[in-house]
Copies of this chain bind each other. A is one copy, B any other.
Amino acid sequence: MEKVTIATVAERAGVSRQTVSNVINTPEVVRAETRERVRAAITSLGYRVNQAARQMRTGRSRLIAVRIESGSDGINGSVLDRFLHGLTDAATLAGYRVMLYTAADDADEIATYDDLLTAHDLDGFVLTSTHHGDPRTSWLAARDVPFVTFGRPWGAPDTHSWVDVDNDAGTLAATKHLLKAGHRRIGFLGWPRGSGVGDARRTGWAAAMTAAGLDVTGLSVAVIDGVDSGAEAAGRFPDDLTAVVCASDSLALGALRALPGRAVIGFDDTAVAHAIGLTSVSQPLAEAAARCMHLLTELLDGRAPATSTQLLLPPSLVVRQTA
């Protein structure tokens, strides 16, 4: 198992180092015959490019970074994990590898960017959990670091590429499903106003109700996410309510407990929903991850479109026993 470098291959194939490099990076400039000879040498020796050496010369590492959330391992934490799985697969296919990092808050995360960029020459980032006034995107944009966000830039202009799931459409479809089943008094159990995602999910429900000519007064309840808080809040709905659309599976679980017999639909289609037969809105996470990676590689390989791209993916309703 001697060390196999580009020089070893060159010697074996009877050419210079540069020609081997050309075969690898710009095959079209090498004569077909020579190219094959070099390729044969590469495979017979089991040669692989040393990324560190390449990186030092080119300044590119073929590495992208994603944050993995530290705590928050509740019911909903798994959503980001599923996204991460999809991203790792997509990155591998595109010839990139994924590096993980954790960060306590936005400032900490920005400090980590700095470290990853200077120490490891990271090529790009995929950000999750975007929110109002997010300082991360502007920091990266100011330094011309390629990045894509999973989640739209709430409140900010669309200056970068992003992929998001159409939350409105999700609750809209869920509400329509309930309307079709004959429900008229349908409540919405969501989060306090201010989170873009939560507000969008409420909007979809309201739109479906209004379109059906129904009054929504007193049918919307807001509470911090959680099973217990959801159960408590669900008690505040009017007695004649027959169905509830929820902003998360946690809340839906609470609603199920507080309002037995009523129709309930959750959001995110987590393992819990699957396990207990909860109807839920499912986000196409694997596809979202693949799209993010695709947009990012476009940026990285320089064939980026002149303008940034925004993608809104439709979620789907997974109908189970609870609705």
Main secondary structure of the interface of A (DSSP, over half): helix
Q: How many copies, total? A: 2
On whether the beta carbons of B70 and A89 are closer than 8 Å, the reply is yes
Interchain CA distance A289-B51 in the complex, whole Å: 28
Considering only CB atoms, which chain B residue lies closest to A89 in the complex? B102
Query: Which A residues from 23 to 72 make CB contacts under 8 A with B?
Result: 48-53, 55-56, 61, 63, 68-70
Q: A119-B48, A271-B272 are in contact. Are A73 and B99 (CB under 8 A)?
A: no
Most buried by B among A75, A272, A274: A272
On whether the beta carbons of B78 and A73 are closer than 8 Å, the reply is yes
Query: Which A residues from 54 to 113 make CB contacts under 8 A with B?
Result: 55-56, 61, 63, 68-70, 73-75, 77-78, 81-82, 84-85, 88-89, 92, 97-102
Residues of B within 8 A of A92 (CB): 101-102
A10 to chain B, nearest CB (A): 17
Interchain CA distance A49-B118 in the complex, whole Å: 8
Decide yes or no whether A280 CB sits under 8 A from chain B. no
On whether the beta carbons of B81 and A69 are closer than 8 Å, the reply is no
A179 to chain B, nearest CB (A): 28
Q: How many chain A residues have a CB neighbour from B under 8 Å?
A: 48
Decide yes or no whether A181 CB sits under 8 A from chain B. no
Decide yes or no whether A318 CB sits under 8 A from chain B. no
On whether the beta carbons of B70 and A97 are closer than 8 Å, the reply is no
Q: Per-residue CB proximity of A248-260 to B under 8 Å, as 1/0? A: 0010010000000
On whether the beta carbons of A271 and B101 are closer than 8 Å, the reply is no
On whether the beta carbons of A85 and B97 are closer than 8 Å, the reply is no
Out of B85, B97, B98, B270, which one reaches A120, CB within 8 Å? B97
Interchain CA distance A77-B253 in the complex, whole Å: 20
Interchain CA distance A68-B102 in the complex, whole Å: 16
On whether the beta carbons of B75 and A275 are closer than 8 Å, the reply is yes
Considering only CB atoms, which chain B residue lies closest to A88 in the complex? B100
A321 to chain B, nearest CB (A): 11
Interchain CA distance A38-B75 in the complex, whole Å: 49
Interchain CA distance A100-B50 in the complex, whole Å: 18
A123 to chain B, nearest CB (A): 12
Considering only CB atoms, which chain B residue lies closest to A58 in the complex? B52
| Pairs across A and B, CB under 8 Å, 20 listed | A48-B119, A50-B56, A50-B119, A51-B119, A51-B121, A52-B55, A52-B120, A56-B56, A73-B78, A73-B82, A75-B272, A77-B78, A77-B271, A85-B102, A97-B100, A97-B101, A97-B120, A99-B100, A250-B275, A270-B271
Residues of chain A whose beta carbon lies under 8 Å from any beta carbon of chain B: 1, 4, 48-53, 55-56, 61, 63, 68-70, 73-75, 77-78, 81-82, 84-85, 88-89, 92, 97-102, 115, 118-121, 143, 227, 250, 253, 270-272, 274-276
